Chains A and B, each alone.
Chain A
Amino acid sequence: DQQVKQNSPSLSVQEGRISILNCDYTNSMFDYFLWYKKYPAEGPTFLISISSIKDKNEDGRFTVFLNKSAKHLSLHIVPSQPGDSAVYFCAASANNAGNMLTFGGGTRLMVKP
């Protein structure tokens, strides 16, 4: 039973345009959400996070939006760059479960020059 889902396995975007990666969750106990970026043969690298008390968090070209009522979050990258091409994982944690991260299946982003 997957509690965090990324329904798009891949996304292709033109350089300079906006990339929007989506993530849905089912566990209402999740209160902290993260996005990780992963290049081949490397481990996931933390990108940006958001607490459930917020609905938006911005860091440079990256913005994460959280819609708690819809149990949905999204990562916006603007403008997209070829170096952003990687697999992006959405992850969530719950205060009553320590800091265990529950990951989605990942979305492969390809930014074309």
Chain B
Amino acid sequence: EAGVTQFPSHSVIEKGQTVTLRCDPISGHDNLYWYRRVMGKEIKFLLHFVKESKQDESGMPNNRFLAERTGGTYSTLKVQPAELEDSGVYFCASSPGAWAEQFFGPGTRLTVL
């Protein structure tokens, strides 16, 4: 069974540009989460989807971040326009149920210059 996959693995963009990160959860997992880790700090929650609905987006830092999960399968996280402080590693995780273990993807390392 394939794990959580994320694309790209690494993205380098300039301040002001737009970047879209993609996450493919484990097949059949209704719950999908986005987290990020900036500069060696703790991993922080961004948002939680149940199927295509946003269950909790309390961790989204500002309106430059837009997450979607059309059809309840893969999810995208768009940053527009990107700022220097957005640099970090963005992790996606999925779980079959709300209280089940979360399986993490390898992350996308975003560098904003």
Contacts and interface: CB of A to CB of B under 8 A. Distances in A.
Partners in one complex: yes
Interface of A: 2, 4, 32, 34, 36, 41-46, 49, 89, 91, 97-106
Interface of B: 4, 31, 33, 35, 40-45, 48, 55-56, 58-59, 91, 93, 95, 98-107
Contacts of B4: 43
B31 A99 contact: yes
Nearest to B46: A100
A105 B42 contact: yes
Contacts of A101: 33, 35, 43, 45, 102
A89 B43 contact: yes
Contacts of B93: 43
B106 A100 contact: no
A109 to B, nearest CB: 16
9 contacts: A36-B104, A43-B106, A49-B101, A99-B100, A101-B35, A101-B102, A103-B42, A105-B41, A106-B42
Closest 6 CB pairs of A and B: A43-B104, A103-B43, A105-B42, A103-B42, A100-B45, A44-B104
Nearest to B103: A46
B98 A43 contact: no
A44 B6 CA distance: 14
A39 to B, nearest CB: 10
Given A41-B106, A44-B104, A98-B55, A104 B42 contact: yes
A103 B40 CA distance: 12
B95 A99 contact: yes
Contact of B104 (A2, A32, A45, A106): A45
Contacts of B56: 97-98, 100
Contact of B43 (A32, A42, A44, A49): A44
